[in-house]
Amino acid sequence: MTRIDAHHHVWDPARRDHAWLTEPGMDPIHRGFSASDLAPLAEAAGIERTVLVQVLPDVGETEEFLALAAGSELIGGVVGWVDLTAPDIADVLARLAEGPGGDRLVGIRHLVQGEADPAWLNRPDVRRGLRAVGAAGLRYDLLTLPHQLPAAIDTVRALPEVGFVLDHLSKPPIAVRELEPWAGRIRELAAEPNVCCKLSGMVTEAALVGSPGGDGWTVAMLRPYAETVLEVFGPERLMFGSDWPVCLLAASYAEVVGAAEELVAGLSPAERERVFGGTAADFYGL
């Protein structure tokens, strides 16, 4: 089984405006990170393929990522960005698919976590865009915060023809050790068969600076959250993602991979292969 990292990024602040990198606490990652930087880290961890995920709400970035993936043996797929509310979204998706590296386009993501309206996903124009994503044969990455999960549940339920994956467990409050209401909402989401979940982003949430206990993380802190998604999604709908280089705010690439391996150590070999490759390969068509 090919080992897959289903979620990482690259960026270069000198080429594109990454204003978010100037926010407090971002100094460790306020520089460029390339696929060449990731390659030796992935090789050391036994990762053979990756999914590169959009950072900016910029179709130009997506085009660059597709061109990058076309010449890469490591990057197996790209989750890009398009304006879900654009009337011509189907045309934009077709243009991306026909351009350089278009065969590496496997999904779309919008930073829903940044939307002030907790029901943004329920908007008719957004739903129309999500249907277009599914009609184009692509998947949709859900990046939400816990209070946005009700709208995510409604959306996944309303669009059974679209394949969704939840990024970063919807960023539960690990640093303050709160499980509810997050866990209940995750159970409700997982009841829908057309959604998977990425085992990603946990170390960063656990080590949030300024939160009680948020000055570090342990595998024990992550375990209740990992066990929740393992229980409700099962290994067949769970996929590992490093969230590199964002993870460097809390841990090295090797530490993130090691933590995930420890969290799924109780699974059978076949189940571990699902989490570390099979689920992502099937979901994204890698």
Q: Which residue has the tokens 């059974």?
A: 160
pLDDT for the residue 213: 45
Q: Does residue 209 register a pLDDT over 60?
A: no
User: What's the average model confidence in pLDDT over 193-208?
Assistant: 94
For 201, the domain range is 4-284
User: What's the average model confidence in pLDDT over 22-34?
Assistant: 91
pLDDT for the residue 25: 84
Distance CA 79, CA 16 (A): 18
Beta strands 4-8; 238-240: pairing state: unpaired
Q: How many domains does the chain have?
A: 1
Per-residue pLDDT tens over the stretch 81-115: 999 999 999 999 999 999 999 999 999 999 999 99
Distance CA 79, CA 139 (A): 8
CB 139 within 8 A of CB 107: yes
pTM comes to: 0.95
CB 197 within 8 A of CB 233: yes
Structure-block tokens of residue 122: 């329920």
CATH assignment at residue 12: 3.20.20.140
